[in-house]
Amino acid sequence: MYVIVEINGQQFKAEQGKKLFVHHIQHAESGAVVEFDKVLLVDKDGSVEVGAPTVEGAKVVCEVLSPLVKGDRVLIFHKKRRKGHRKLNGHRQQFTEVSIKEIVA
């Protein structure tokens, strides 16, 4: 059984026992339980239920494993040819690691 759930504006395929890296969740502490109720699709052993826009009564219960995880470094390089202009910026996205404990459908 799996569901498609929307977390902080992104869609994830969630299965029980799976770990996800989602965009940083404000005020989340390690070990806290978080519930997400924007379930867009539920698949129970081949029978698919699609929400319009969400499935009624479905939710995903997660446990926060690590509230702040930094992603890989992304380099942004700007250059204008023949002008001597070069600029290098870096960025590391912040994520929250969650573990799927229960899917209520």
Q: SS3 for 81?
A: coil
Read off the pTM: 0.82
pLDDT category at 15 given cuts 50, 70, 90 is very high
CB 92 within 8 A of CB 70: yes
Cα-Cα-Cα-Cα torsion 45, 49, 53, 59, nearest 10 degrees, comes to -50
28: three-class secondary structure by DSSP? coil
Which domain, by its residues, includes 31? Answer: 2-104
pLDDT band at 36 (very low <50, low <70, confident <90, very high): very high
Q: Tell me: the pLDDT tens digits for 42-101?
A: 999 889 999 999 999 999 999 999 999 999 999 999 999 999 999 999 999 999 999 999
Number of domains in the chain: 1
The predicted model gives 6-35 an average pLDDT of 95
pLDDT for the residue 105:
84
